[in-house]
Chain A
Amino acid sequence: MSTERNVAQIALFTALIAALGLIPQLTLAFGVPVTAQSLGIMLCGTVLGARRGGLAALLFVALVALGLPLLSGGRGGLGLFSPSSPTVGFLVGFPVSAFCTGLITERLRRLPTAPAAGIAAVIGGICVLYAFGIVGMSVALERSLGEAALLVTAFIPGDMIKAVLAGLITAALYRARPDSVWSRA
Chain B
Amino acid sequence: MISLTSPVRTRAHGWPAGAKLLGLCVASVVLFAAPYLAFQIAAALAVWVAYALPGWLFFWYGVRRIWPLWPFVVLLLIWHLFTAGVGEGAVIALRMVTAVALANLVTMITSLEAMMAVISRLLRPFARLGVNLRAIELAAAMVIRFTPVLADKGTALSLAWRARSRRRAGWRVIVPFMVLALDDADHVAEALRARGGIGLDNKI
Q: What are 26 pairs between A and B in contact, CB < 8 Å?
A: A3-B199, A4-B197, A5-B185, A8-B186, A11-B142, A11-B188, A12-B185, A12-B188, A15-B142, A15-B150, A19-B151, A22-B148, A26-B171, A39-B174, A66-B112, A66-B116, A70-B143, A75-B68, A79-B65, A82-B99, A82-B100, A83-B99, A141-B72, A173-B178, A177-B179, A177-B182
- By the criterion CB–CB under 8 Å, are B101 and A86 in contact? no
Residues of A within 8 A of B169 (CB): 26-27
- Assuming A22-B147, A22-B151, what are 6 further A-B pairs, CB within 8 angstroms? A7-B139, A8-B142, A15-B150, A18-B150, A79-B101, A79-B104
Check B86 for interface membership: any CB of A closer than 8 A: no
Sorting the interface of chain B by its residue count into under 10, 10 to 19, 20 to 34 or 35 or more gives 35 or more
Sort A-B residue pairs by CB-CB distance and give the 10 closest, nearest first.
Answer: A77-B107, A79-B104, A11-B142, A19-B150, A84-B99, A78-B103, A12-B185, A15-B146, A8-B189, A8-B185
Q: A28-B171, A78-B24 are in contact. Are A84 and B95 (CB under 8 A)?
A: yes
Contact residues of A between 1 and 50, Cβ < 8 Å to B: 2-5, 7-16, 18-20, 22-24, 26-28, 36, 39, 43, 47
CB contact between B5 and one of A24, A39, A67, A82 (< 8 Å): that residue? A67
Q: Is the CB of A176 within 8 A of B4?
A: no
Residues B142 and A79 in contact, CB atoms below 8 Å apart: no
A165 on interface, CB distance cutoff 8 Å: yes
Q: How far is the CA of A43 from the CA of B177 in the complex (A)?
A: 12
Q: Say yes or no for B175: interface residue by CB 8 A criterion.
A: yes
Q: In residues 79-106 of chain B, which contact A (Cβ within 8 Å)?
A: 79, 92, 95-96, 99-104, 106
B170 within 8 A of partner (CB):
yes
Assembled-state Cα–Cα distance A151/B78 (Å): 14
Q: Are A23 and B158 within 8 A (Cβ)?
A: yes
The secondary structure that dominates the B interface is helix
- Give complex CA distance A84, B101 in Å: 10
Instruction: Find out whether the CB atom of B3 lies under 8 angstroms from the CB atom of A67.
Output: yes
**CA A16 to CA B183, docked complex, whole Å:** 12
Would you call A11 and B185 a contact (CB within 8 A)? yes
Across-interface contacts of B172 in A (CB, < 8 A): 172
Chain B contacts with A in 132-156, Cβ cutoff 8 A: 132, 135-136, 138-140, 142-151, 153-155
Interface: A63 (CB within 8 A) = yes
A7 and B198 contacting across the interface, CB-CB below 8 Å: yes
